[in-house]
Amino acid sequence: MDSKIAENIRAFRKERNLTQEQLAEAMGVTTGAVHKWETGMATPEIGTIMELADFFDISVDVLLGYKKQDHKIDAIVERMSEYCKTLDRNAITEAEKALQKYPNSLKVVYASASVYLTFAIGKERSAARRALELLERALLLLPQNPDPDIGEALIYGKMAGAYEYLGDFEKSIEILKNHNESGIFSADIGVSECFFRKHYDEAVPYLTQGLMNSFVEMTNSLLGWITVLGIGKKDYAAALDLAEWGLYNVKMLKKRDITDSLSKIEAFFLASKAGILLKAGRKKEARDAAKEAEKIVRDFDDSPDYGVENMRFAEFSEESSFHDGLGLTAEDSLETMIQMLGDKELIKLWKDVHKSGNDRKQK
């Protein structure tokens, strides 16, 4: 293995704001010895390496530069994933081999836990228990082996799933509630309260938050995809389908057909639709969509309502509001979005439609 111990000792020392003299004192060696370690002129003895790892609160693997093995690990993890796609039990054999070889690799431990969870779905309690063991280990490795694709919330979510497969629904829900930062598990908690505990009233606030989170994410994803398909890929038909999907979502969530905070989102989809229609050469339809969007934001700004009381399938225990963050007014928000799209033809259309709206209002 191509060791990176020299640069790692230097990096971890600096991370803790220590001088070479201070590290030398802590390790009971000379400053010259530390200098040689960090320049690669000498390598610490195995006992000292273990002391250094303990001092820096990391594993020996990390201190030595264990990431050099990642290409091998990636291949193993990929094989496990391929086996799981067809429920091939070779995935378990592969996982156990990998755990023996790389016991301190977060990626291997987490992937192996996921393998066991795959087979735990079939009511294999032993698989669920093994998954829990590995997930507990993954939590311990998390500070030592940072992987951008694996986070604490993800691990706890998997643990909750393992307890669910074991039939311990109380423990599963408890884990989700204890780690529900920003409502990340709200939808799961709501469903679990309904299905497993039959606590329908307790499920409502979680289902409400889950729906709100999902709606915001869906809205952002749809607006992004409309731009990708309509402007980037020039697939106008698909982009228009997504715009209609977004408009349908807004319509389904409204209790009454009034101008409210959801209407602003409706205007966003209408403006995106107008931009795609322009690209497709359907200028009259584009103008109609832009005019509809302009009327919505004008009506909203005449009587602003940022509340969410008009949203169906949502019950709030306290007053809540919805803001898009693009502008102080609905008109500002829509204009910001149109400017961000950067389509000159759409910007020109919006200015024209907006001017016509102002002229009508003055009359």
Burial class (CB within 10 angstroms; exposed 0-12, middle 13-18, buried 19+) of 132: buried
Do 321 and 278 sit in the same domain of this protein?
Answer: yes
Do 47 and 154 sit in the same domain of this protein?
Answer: no
The 3-class secondary structure across the chain, one letter per residue, is CCCCHHHHHHHHHHHCCCCHHHHHHHHCCCHHHHHHHHHCCCCCCHHHHHHHHHHCCCCHHHHHCHHHHHHHHHHHHHHHHHHHHCCCCHHHHHHHHHHHHCCCCHHHHHHHHHHHHHHHCCCCHHHHHHHHHHHHHHHHHCCCCCECCECHHHHHHHHHHHHHHCCCHHHHHHHHHHCCHHHCCHHHHHHHHHHHHCCHHHHHHHHHHHHHHHHHHHHHHHHHHHHHHHHHCCCHHHHHHHHHHHHHHHHHHECCCCCCHHHHHHHHHHHHHHHHHHHCCCHHHHHHHHHHHHHHHHHHHHCCCCECCCECCCCCCCCCECCCCCCCCHHHHHHHHHHHHCCHHHHHHHHHHHHHHHHHHHC
Cβ(80)–Cβ(112) below 8 Å: yes
Do 223 and 348 sit in the same domain of this protein?
Answer: yes
Provide φ and ψ at 210, rounded to 5°.
Answer: -60, -40
Cβ(179)–Cβ(171) below 8 Å: no
How much is the pLDDT for 1? 45
Report if residue 95 sits inside a domain.
yes
Q: How many domains does the chain have?
A: 3
Q: Could you tell me the CATH number of the domain that includes residue 33?
A: 1.10.260.40
Name the domain boundary from 127, 162, 179: 179
Report if residue 203 sits inside a domain.
no
Taking the model in full, what pTM does it have? 0.74
Report if residue 191 sits inside a domain.
no
Q: Could you tell me the CATH number of the domain that includes residue 173?
A: 1.25.40.10
Report if residue 200 sits inside a domain.
no
Report if residue 165 sits inside a domain.
yes
% of the chain beyond a pLDDT of 70: 95
Do 80 and 175 sit in the same domain of this protein?
Answer: yes
Cβ(142)–Cβ(150) below 8 Å: yes
Do 307 and 341 sit in the same domain of this protein?
Answer: yes
Do 77 and 170 sit in the same domain of this protein?
Answer: yes
Of the pLDDT bands very low, low, confident and very high (cuts 50, 70, 90), residue 32 is very high
Take residue 219 and report the two structure tokens written for it: 């809205």
Of the pLDDT bands very low, low, confident and very high (cuts 50, 70, 90), residue 307 is confident
pLDDT per position as a tens digit, 262-284:
998 999 999 999 999 999 999 99
Do 325 and 276 sit in the same domain of this protein?
Answer: yes
Sign of CA dihedral 138, 144, 145, 147: positive
The Cα–Cα gap between 277 and 271 comes to 10
Report if residue 198 sits inside a domain.
no
pLDDT per position as a tens digit, 82-112:
999 999 999 999 999 999 988 888 999 999 9
Report if residue 202 sits inside a domain.
no
- Residue range of the domain that includes 174: 69-179
Do 140 and 235 sit in the same domain of this protein?
Answer: no
pLDDT per position as a tens digit, 149-186:
899 999 999 999 999 999 999 999 999 999 999 999 99
Q: At a CB cut-off of 8 Å and minimum separation 6, what does 23 contact?
A: 9, 13, 34
Name the domain boundary from 49, 64, 79: 64
Report if residue 204 sits inside a domain.
no
Sign of CA dihedral 118, 124, 125, 129: negative
Q: At a CB cut-off of 8 Å and minimum separation 6, what does 319 contact?
A: 307
Do 89 and 141 sit in the same domain of this protein?
Answer: yes
Do 226 and 246 sit in the same domain of this protein?
Answer: yes
Name the domain boundary from 47, 64, 81: 64
Do 272 and 355 sit in the same domain of this protein?
Answer: yes
How much is the pLDDT for 315? 85
Do 34 and 90 sit in the same domain of this protein?
Answer: no
